[in-house]
Amino acid sequence: MDHPTGSAMSAARRPDLEDLEVLALVARTGSIGQAAQELRLSQPSVSRRMLALERRLGVTLLHRTKQGTTLTPHGRLVVDWAAELLGAADRFTRSIAMLRAEGELVVRAAASMTIAEHYAPAWLARLHAGAPDLRVSLSVANSTEVERLVRTGAAELGFVEVPTAPDGLRHQQVGADRLVVAVAPGHPWANRTDPLGAAELATGGILVREEGSGTRVTLEEALRREGHDLEPGLVMASNNGLTHAAIAGMGPVALSERAVEAQLRLDELRAVPLAGLALVRPLTAIWPSDTPLPDAAARLLAAAGARAAS
């Protein structure tokens, strides 16, 4: 009977890099439930992945109790080793991408939807004026996905609109953006003069972007600071779709002031005064901390930063 060779057996036991990333997140958050929330996955799904990783490695990584989940001593070692492996994998991915683009004046960038629709066009026009031969490949996603694209090397430079810059990445603020809550003229909030409080806003059926978008994160964090959790109404991954849903009377909407400025000017929507909610968020450029920013990407960053200084 044939037996697997040492190299074949070793290969069969090699862990999936994504599973190691999940383990590292469990270690950082201190909870399978919190890690699942950040990954937008169910807690049972993350638990199954960790059990499968333990079986593959033949090592118990997590100590599970009713009070929560902690790393075993072996688990702490594996997390430390995984950090080195994941860092090397990210550097490899970015190096291959740079090799592929060698000799080309191309920027691989990613931007959140609000930034892509309302801020990036001016940045790109400014960049083109100074460097007409430089091409930009711009991916559009929500802020969480933009961060992932930068971390994996799929984008050299990202632009997000979350209240706090992501950990472990270099960042630079390039502007600021304000959210407004707006309603159709027939909505009960349309003509109110007294500011809307956080409690009423949280339970008012706000039409919001999907989880992971900077717009939603900004609103949720502002409400949590006031002691309230958002109870959303319609959820859509489209600023334009939410705007038209609000105009149709489906409820109040929370979006960038830039996204609804035309509708406010035409009185298709009306801004609702708010009491004590800080809904201004930075527009932030992010890029890997362990590799130099390519010259072409640095030019795009300068073009974006010029808007903040102007």
What lies within 8 Å, CB to CB, of 120 at 6+ separation is 111, 138, 159, 304
**Predicted local confidence at residue 248, as pLDDT:** 94
**Predicted local confidence at residue 104, as pLDDT:** 54
Query: How many residues does this entry show for the chain?
Result: 310
**Predicted local confidence at residue 100, as pLDDT:** 58
Strands 280-288 and 169-183: antiparallel
Average pLDDT over residues 177-203: 94
pLDDT in tens, 5-41: 444 434 446 778 888 889 888 888 888 888 888 888 8
- Write phi, then psi, for 295 (nearest 5 degrees): -60, -40
**Predicted local confidence at residue 98, as pLDDT:** 60
Confidence of residue 250 (pLDDT cuts 50, 70, 90): very high
H-helix or E-strand spanning residue 212: none
pLDDT in tens, 77-124: 898 888 888 888 887 877 666 655 554 568 899 999 999 999 999 999
Residue 157 three-state SS: strand
Structural tokens at position 226: 């006031």
pLDDT in tens, 31-68: 888 888 888 888 888 889 899 899 888 889 988 877 77
**Predicted local confidence at residue 43, as pLDDT:** 85
What value does the mean pLDDT of the chain take?
87
What lies within 8 Å, CB to CB, of 202 at 6+ separation is 223, 228, 229, 230, 231
Asked if residue 285 has pLDDT above 70, the reply is yes
Structural tokens at position 109: 């960038």
**Predicted local confidence at residue 10, as pLDDT:** 43
Asked if residue 218 has pLDDT above 60, the reply is yes
Confidence of residue 309 (pLDDT cuts 50, 70, 90): very low
Do 47 and 32 contact (CB within 8 A), yes or no?
yes
Neighbours of 58 (CB within 10 A): 7
Q: Which domains does the chain have, with CATH numbers?
A: 6-97 (1.10.10.10), 105-310 (3.40.190.290)
**Predicted local confidence at residue 132, as pLDDT:** 86
Asked if residue 4 has pLDDT above 50, the reply is no
| Amino acid at the residue 127 | L
- CA–CA separation, 204 and 141 (whole Å): 27
Dihedral sign for Cα 261, 263, 267, 268, please: negative
Closest CA to 154 of 90, 207, 242: 90
Asked if residue 165 has pLDDT above 70, the reply is yes
Dihedral sign for Cα 252, 256, 261, 263, please: negative
Confidence of residue 242 (pLDDT cuts 50, 70, 90): very high
What lies within 8 Å, CB to CB, of 139 at 6+ separation is 108, 109, 110, 111, 146, 149, 154, 155
Closest CA to 296 of 97, 91, 113: 97
Confidence of residue 186 (pLDDT cuts 50, 70, 90): very high
Strands 280-288 and 157-160: antiparallel
- CA–CA separation, 256 and 239 (whole Å): 9
- The DSSP-derived string for 225-267 is HTT-----S-B-S-HHHHHHHHHTTS--EEEEHHHHHHHHHTT
**Predicted local confidence at residue 32, as pLDDT:** 86
Asked if residue 144 has pLDDT above 60, the reply is yes
How many H-runs (helices) and E-runs (strands) does the chain carry? 13, 9
